[in-house]
Amino acid sequence: MPAKPQSERSVTRTYRTAIKLGDDFITIEETITLPIDADEQTVQQAVDLGWRIFRSQREAVEQQIAQIREQHAAATTITVRDPDAPASERQRNFIATLQQALGWSSEQLAAFAQQHGYDLVALNKGQASAFIDELRRLQEEHQRLAIAEERARYANQPISDKQRNAILSLARELSLDPDAEAQRRFQVPLTQLTNEQAATLIGEWQAAHRAATVGKRNSGQVNAG
């Protein structure tokens, strides 16, 4: 299969989550696709953008979840139909999905249920709905902690070799002193930048480089005309 032209290369990131509203379940999905070139600078930019996209998607999805829950609560009182009837297959499937998301074994799920007073075998609809709420709260807390830990770990890592090379290359293109600019922006020399600071600097300089390139191209077309 022939390789795609440079202009068609892209990077895609998808974030997907499910929320429970009464007896109903809603899936929200966010997908972002960005063009990417093959050069080292753009590859590093894609890596940095991937993390920033993830954070933005996470925040956007949380806002959507909050809005949907507010609208749902305002429109109707959440009730469980036939709460004493046996738990539905959909409820049990959603419990299994949450178990998988939490990375739990069947024994861990049973222990959690017993701890909160639920009999998994004899669950009725009302109990299943409440148990799902417990699992969702726990999953959301795990997600918040994981994101916070990942963000802190990413942000505090030292500048990588790829990032340093990208900054040096961009500095040459833009006729900038990388150490002086790092000191001006973050009050530390280039070698002491964190991963996140380096990503910020690369993003700013790449935007400036693109703007300068477009300006030169437009100027050349005017002169040619």
pTM: 0.42
Are 100 and 82 a contacting pair, CB within 8 Å?
no
Strand partners, 19: 26
Q: How far apart are CA 57 and CA 16, in angstroms?
A: 9
Report the percentage of the chain scoring pLDDT > 90.
28
Radius of gyration of the chain (CA): 25
Whether residue 215 has pLDDT greater than 70: no
Using the structure block, give the residue that is written with the tokens 């046996």.
86
Whether residue 172 has pLDDT greater than 50: yes
Alpha helices in the chain (DSSP H): 40-75, 89-102, 106-115, 125-156, 161-174, 178-186, 195-224
Q: How far apart are CA 202 and CA 196, in angstroms?
A: 10
Using the structure block, give the residue that is written with the tokens 């990417």.
36
Using the structure block, give the residue that is written with the tokens 């004493």.
84
Domain ranges, ordered by start, for the chain: 8-79, 81-156, 161-208
Q: 34-64: per-residue pLDDT in tens?
A: 565 555 665 556 656 666 666 666 666 666 7
Q: 114-154: per-residue pLDDT in tens?
A: 999 999 999 999 999 999 999 998 988 888 887 777 767 76
Q: How far apart are CA 179 and CA 168, in angstroms?
A: 10
Confidence at 20, pLDDT banded by 50, 70, 90: low
Confidence at 195, pLDDT banded by 50, 70, 90: confident
